[in-house]
Amino acid sequence: MNNFNIEDFPHRRMNPLTGEWILVSPHRSRRPWQGQVEKVIEEARPAYDPECYLCPGNERAGGKVNPDYKGTFVFTNDFSALLSDTPEGWVNESGLFKAESEKGICKVLCFSENHNLTIPEMEVTEIRKVVDLWCDEFKELGSNVFINYIQIFENKGSIMGCSNPHPHGQIWSSSSIPVEPAKECKTQKEYFDKHGTTLLGDYLKSELEKEERLLVQNDHFVALVPFWATWPFETMIISRRPVQNILELNNEERTALADIYQKLTIKYDNLFEVSFAYSAGLHQAPTDGNNYPEWHLHMHFYPPLLRSATVKKFMVGYEMLATPQRDITAEQAAKRLCELPDIHYKKRNS
């Protein structure tokens, strides 16, 4: 079965969740790096910023005023990409000009009233409130007959296009199942039909035995670098118990999700001692009323940084035109993240 040394030679790895391949070139990560590894001085932010559209009591675009909230706060996105009152309809000319109307609801979720915090700097009790808000929103949005998929996500850092450092995330919910979750619907179903177990349950079991790509764990969740990671420090959080969505998590599991979200993002911040940018989000079963026993709740983290606080990986050229490629292997990335302290660099006495 194993007759090839994946530590030393170029190879392709398959992502079983998407069915897609990536190219890994481990020999290239040994080439000398000429660039500088500069430290970035991060300016301390105030706990309240009068200019911030997410801070309590401040005015947002369009004149709405945020309440004087403490903890979490949710509102409908003032520039929603999807609207709930879009009329039904479609276009189809010769199968080459196809379009369909799309309905949805978009929300913005403030994680804390404190402008100056981020997930890795928040207490687990505070992050638990974010998890509870995800659950409440998932339940409410999912109860709409026209909402069939709910994407909960967080864009962190301006290099990920995040418009505001105030700790926040978003939810975009839609009638159709978006491209990435749709791939996972297909692959997980095929696997479940064949094996009678979830794809990620079996994958996690093997990863726990191999111990090559594990990062942090608690009683209910495991964070690891997936074998098929594309971004240099891409990771996943997988629930130990196969659940279709966050509403199936019990009280203890909700806290455990908050705990591992914090622990993983502390590792990230400690990597280059900078507030580490990423796009992260939960993948869950569709909310179209069907049962999806094959679906296994997980969270993806896609960070762009590669070598320092400023050197990011570009997905260009070959990646755009052919296949995503990486030099540093998933195992090397896991080792580096694993070796980092569990205490946030800002909280350590230097």
Task: Round to whole Å and give the CA distance between 90 and 98.
Answer: 7
**How near is the Cβ of 120 to Zn ion at its closest, in Å?**
17
Torsion on CA atoms 269, 234, 53, 107, rounded to nearest 10 = -140
**Contact yes or no for 330/226 (Cβ under 8 A):** yes
| DSSP bridge partners of 280 | 154, 301
**Contact yes or no for 297/281 (Cβ under 8 A):** no
x/- map, 94-113, ligand H2U, by CB under 6 A: --------------x-----
Helix 330-339 to helix 251-272 angle (10° resolution) is 90
**Contact yes or no for 184/17 (Cβ under 8 A):** yes
From the list ligand H2U, Zn ion, none, partner contacted by residue 200 (C-beta under 5 to 8 A by kind): none
**Contact yes or no for 267/255 (Cβ under 8 A):** no
Give the footprint of Zn ion on this chain (CB under 5 A): 49, 52, 54-55, 115, 166
Task: Round to whole Å and give the CA distance between 118 and 169.
Answer: 11
The span of 27-35, 82-90, 156-164, 255-263 binding ligand H2U (CB under 6 A) equals 156-164
Q: Does 144 bind ligand H2U (CB under 6 A)?
A: no
From the list ligand H2U, Zn ion, none, partner contacted by residue 213 (C-beta under 5 to 8 A by kind): none
Positions marked active-site: 168
Helix 179-195 to helix 199-210 angle (10° resolution) is 80
CA atoms within a 13 Å half-sphere pointing along the CA-CB vector of 112: 20
Judged by beta carbon, residue 78 or residue 100, the one nearer ligand H2U is 78
Q: Which residue among 25, 84, 170, 217 contacts ligand H2U (CB under 6 A)?
A: 170
**How near is the Cβ of 82 to ligand H2U at its closest, in Å?**
11
Judged by beta carbon, residue 60 or residue 240, the one nearer Zn ion is 60
x/- map, 33-52, ligand H2U, by CB under 6 A: --------------------
Q: Does 155 bind ligand H2U (CB under 6 A)?
A: yes
AA identity, residue 336:
R
From the list Zn ion, ligand H2U, none, partner contacted by residue 212 (C-beta under 5 to 8 A by kind): none
Q: Which residue among 53, 292, 302, 345 contacts ligand H2U (CB under 6 A)?
A: 53
How many chain residues interact with ligand H2U (CB under 6 A)?
14
From the list ligand H2U, Zn ion, none, partner contacted by residue 115 (C-beta under 5 to 8 A by kind): Zn ion
Residue 173 burial by CB count (10 A; 0-12/13-18/19+): exposed, middle or buried?
buried
Q: Does 63 bind ligand H2U (CB under 6 A)?
A: no
Judged by beta carbon, residue 151 or residue 188, the one nearer ligand H2U is 151
Judged by beta carbon, residue 72 or residue 175, the one nearer Zn ion is 72
The span of 53-61, 174-182, 208-216, 318-326 binding ligand H2U (CB under 6 A) equals 53-61
Assign residue 255 a region (left: φ > 0; alpha: ψ between -120 and 50; beta: otherwise): alpha
Closest to 147 in 3D by CA, of 30, 316, 289, 338: 289
Q: Does 78 bind ligand H2U (CB under 6 A)?
A: yes
Which parts of this chain interact with ligand H2U (CB under 6 A)? 53, 60-61, 77-79, 108, 155, 161-164, 168, 170
